[in-house]
């Protein structure tokens, strides 16, 4: 995990580690028509320090297994859950999303915000399907083109970062072809990127660099983050995270 120490140090103090928002998670819950009083079993994959896990634990009568492969993030999540009186509803699990130790049809809901790209959308929805009960719900956010064409600078950047980036109709097609019935989709608005994610990180760059002796590696991380933010500000009408909600078919 040595390679991750700087990234952990930059991100672990933030409320979230990717674009999103409480209102948007709640919107996904409503579109999925998740029963708030049912004793559901939920997995939150790539949960980070728990922005979505804690909201789900607060809003639902559910048991949530919060999965991330970085123990430092899970430690923060555990502290936050305790402070919010939600510990009994949250079980942190440190493991990789491509080696989940779950049984077939164990979960009512598989939730994942800004994380499925780590194994790729198609692979994720195929691999995770068996853990869901028939009729169970998949709620995932995935970087998505929101225009039919886009400037080459942007196309090149994101195809380098994540070649699976595509338009929503393709993502919905993947869900249809892999045993799900898509039941909802919406696009994360700008404030989920800027106010909720990029600005807090930008505000922490100075302290991050100080903590890490202004090292070359730390500066490279800040530079890469600034490049991503700059591109978002320039081209935000062309892409966002799409939130996809789908039901597992027989």
Binding site for ligand SAM (CB under 6 A): 16-18, 20, 46-48, 51-52, 67-70, 73, 96-98, 113-115, 118
The dihedral region occupied by 42, where left means phi > 0, alpha psi between -120 and 50, and beta the remainder, is: beta
Residue with Cβ nearer ligand SAM (115 or 177) = 115
Angle at the Cα of 84 (from 78 to 85), degrees rounded to 5?
Answer: 85
Closest distance of CB 102 from ligand SAM, Å: 13
Q: Please say whether the beta carbons of 29 and 53 come within 8 A.
A: no
**Helix H or strand E segment including 83:** helix 71-83
Work out how close the CB of 65 gets to ligand SAM at its nearest, in angstroms, rounded to a whole number: 12
Parallel/antiparallel/unpaired status of strands 239-248 and 132-145: antiparallel
CA distance 14 to 12: 6
Task: Give the Cα separation of 205 and 197 in Å (integer).
Answer: 13
Q: State in angstroms the smallest separation of the CB of 238 from ligand SAM.
A: 20
Looking at beta carbons only, is 101 or 210 nearer to ligand SAM? 101
Residue 83 Cβ, how far from ligand SAM at the closest point, in Å?
Answer: 17
**Which CB, 108 or 113, lies closer to ligand SAM?**
113
**Choice between 45 and 218, CB closer to ligand SAM:** 45
Name the minimum Å distance from CB 192 to ligand SAM: 10
Rounded Cα distance, 206 and 75, in Å:
24
Kindly tell me which of 99 and 250 has the beta carbon lying closer to ligand SAM. 99
């Amino acid at each position: 995990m040595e390679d991750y120490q700087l990234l952990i140090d930059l991100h672990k103090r933030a409320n979230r580690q990717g674009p999103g928002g409480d209102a948007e998670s709640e919107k996904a819950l409503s579109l999925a028509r998740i029963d708030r009083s049912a004793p559901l079993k939920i997995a939150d994959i790539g949960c980070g320090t728990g922005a979505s896990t804690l909201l789900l634990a607060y809003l639902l009568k559910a048991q949530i297994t919060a999965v991330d492969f970085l123990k430092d993030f899970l430690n923060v999540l555990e502290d936050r859950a305790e402070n919010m009186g939600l510990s009994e509803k949250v079980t942190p699990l440190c493991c990789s999303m491509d080696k989940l130790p779950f049984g077939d049809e164990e979960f009512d809901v598989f939730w994942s915000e800004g994380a499925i790209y780590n194994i790729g959308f198609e692979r994720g929805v195929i691999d995770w399907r068996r853990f869901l009960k028939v009729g169970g719900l998949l709620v995932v956010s995935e970087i998505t083109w929101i225009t039919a064409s886009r400037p080459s600078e942007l196309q090149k950047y994101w195809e380098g970062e994540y070649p699976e980036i595509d338009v929503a109709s393709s993502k919905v097609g993947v869900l249809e072809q892999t045993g799900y019935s898509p039941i909802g989709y919406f696009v994360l608005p700008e404030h989920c990127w800027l106010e909720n994610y990029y600005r807090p990180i930008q505000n922490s760059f100075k302290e991050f660099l100080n903590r890490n002796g202004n090292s070359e590696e730390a500066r490279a991380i800040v530079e890469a983050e600034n490049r991503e933010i700059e591109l978002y500000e320039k081209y935000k009408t062309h892409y966002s995270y799409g939130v996809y909600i789908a039901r597992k078919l027989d």
